[in-house]
Each structure stands twice: as structure tokens, then as C-alpha cells.
Amino acid sequence: MASKPLVICICGMAGSGKSTQAKRLAEKYGLKYYSGGEALKALAIERGYKSLEKGWWESREGLSFLENRTKDPKFDRAVDQKLLEVAEQGNVVLDSWTMPWLLKDGFKVWLEASSRKRAERVAKRDGISVKEALEALRHKEEKTKAIYKRLYGFSLGEDFTPFHLILDTENLTAEEVFQVLSMVLDKIVFEKRNFT
């Protein structure tokens, strides 16, 4: 019997480390990496946005694209459709805010951290002040949560029912988070697949 396509979903609010960890895990296990945020950004570029700078989502232009998304769900629907297709092929790590709820299968991880800690990480990454990062994150998350609530009915960052693992990254380094995730995936995902 063929085993189901292998899909790992990494989720968490901005600054939780989800993209960093998803990329590293894909590399470690020889899986494809696919990012919902990157796919949305590609659509933004097609629309004439210049989304190449680091920290684009928290920039004025990124927030302007977010405003467009709140008025028209076609961007999000297109990206989610693509992610579902990628998931069906399997052997992929998805860095996505929607897939944990939209996909039936897959191993789903939520990375948790306080808004303050996440803002500190974003500020460091993007070279902005913590105050600016906090404000941008608050605005972005409020809008993003509203988009997904309206589109799919789930509460991002509040509803944890789809997740197999919730990991508090507040006081862990990126390396420590990676070690924990690797250990859990080795035990729960990969060991089981080897016995089926």
C-alpha cells in the first residue's frame, strides 16, 4: 500500500520563525519548500508592486497590498488553490497560514511567541525599531485574521485544533527550535512512515 503524500505544515504569526524553520526542515529532509507568503508576493509583483525588499509585508507597499486583499479575496484563493495542488503531490514543507485548516492530511506545527518577542525579531530582521515592528505587526495581523475569518471561518492565532504540535519559541534560539522540530518529526512522522 502506498503511503500518503508527505506534507508538513509550519504555521505561526510573523516573527515566530516559521519561514526559517520550514526552509531548514525542507533542506534537512530533502523535501520541497513552498511558501504561501512568497506566492502572494509573486502575485503582488504581477500587479505592479515592487516587493523585493526585506520586510516587505510590514512596509507601506506590503500593507497597501493587504488592503487590496481585504477587498478582493481572489489573491488568497488563488494561492491556497496552488498550495493544495502542491500538497497533493507531497514531499513538501508548506509555510502557510491557511493550510493547517484547509488540508485534511499532513503534520501541522504551530510556532508560538509573544507579540513583543516577534516584534523584536522582525525589527532585527528588517532594521526597524521595535515600536515600528509592533505597530506594523498589529495592523497586518488584524487585517490578515479578518481575511481568513471571512474566507474560511477559522481564527488565525486563536484556533489551534488542526495542530499536532504547538511549540513555544519565546525563549528558544532558532537552532533549539530546529532541534526540537527535527526530533519530533523523526519520531512521529518519519519513523511511522518507515514502518508502513
Rg (the chain; Cα; Å)? 16
pLDDT tens for the 196 residues of the chain, in order: 346 789 999 999 999 999 999 999 999 999 999 999 888 888 888 888 876 666 777 777 887 888 888 888 888 999 999 999 999 999 999 999 999 999 999 999 999 999 999 999 999 988 889 999 999 899 889 999 999 999 999 999 999 999 999 999 999 999 999 999 999 999 999 887 665 4
Residues contacting residue 132 through CB under 8 Å, at least 6 positions apart: 58, 123
CA atoms within 13 A on the CB side of 99: 31
pLDDT at 62: 81
CA nearest neighbour of 12 among 127, 172, 192: 172
- So where are the chain's domains? 30-172
| Per-residue pLDDT, 4 | 74
Q: List the one residue out of 39, 38, 15 whose CA is nearest residue 177.
A: 15
Global pTM reads 0.90
Q: Are 36 and 94 within 8 A, CB to CB?
A: yes
| Cα 169 to Cα 3: distance, rounded to the nearest angstrom | 31
Q: Does domain 30-172 have CATH number 2.160.20.10?
A: no
Please, is 82 exposed, middle or buried when counting C-beta atoms within 10 Å of its C-beta (0-12, 13-18, 19+)? middle
Is residue 65 a contact partner of residue 5, using CB atoms and an 8 Å limit?
no
